Amino acid sequence: MQTELLADYSFDENKEREVIRETLRVYKEVCGKPAKGWLSSSLRCTLNTIDLIAEEGLIFTTDLLNDDQPYLVETRSGRMIVSIPYTSEVNDFTVFMRQGQDVNGAFAVFKEGFDWLYRESAASGRFMNIGLHPHVVGQPFRIRALHDFIAYAKSFDDVWFATREEIAEWYLKNHQSHIA
């Protein structure tokens, strides 16, 4: 568990490295296997974070919010990291808490995002992420939005439900030339 914000150490790379290493140690202890990717607490990475996680052997980051496709980021070591974008828009906290959507409104947001990306995927693969938090979507009066959306998305035979780790591993094997 990351207990400190990396942004607090924007100008102290060694301290940031310590926080990352401790987080990865705890993850391995709890999960029984090493982490392969990184999401900074509160999405507050620094300019050094991608380089530091590459040094630790991770293969992906989800700290960047700027695309709906994975892409490669070259680190200072020359090692490539896959950016698997996160979203703060199609996110249960945003949809329920900030926008005030009810279950039907949240389902409509999730479905609209999926439908648009699905259409675009005819020309090039797309990735859809929904940021979820157990204390938000996990409420009995909200969970139906997620349940119904997953059932809807699973009705498409050609949609891959993959973990970020699976996406990163596939991308590294198949699309290293994506960015020249």
Q: What is the pLDDT of residues 44-71, one digit of tens each?
A: 889 999 999 999 999 999 998 888 789 9
pLDDT of residue 155: 98
Domains in the chain: boundaries:
6-86, 87-180
pLDDT beneath 70, residues of the chain: 1-4, 176-180
Residues 105 and 95 sit within 8 Å (Cβ to Cβ): yes
Q: Which residues pair with 83 in a beta bridge?
A: 61, 71
pLDDT of residue 180: 42
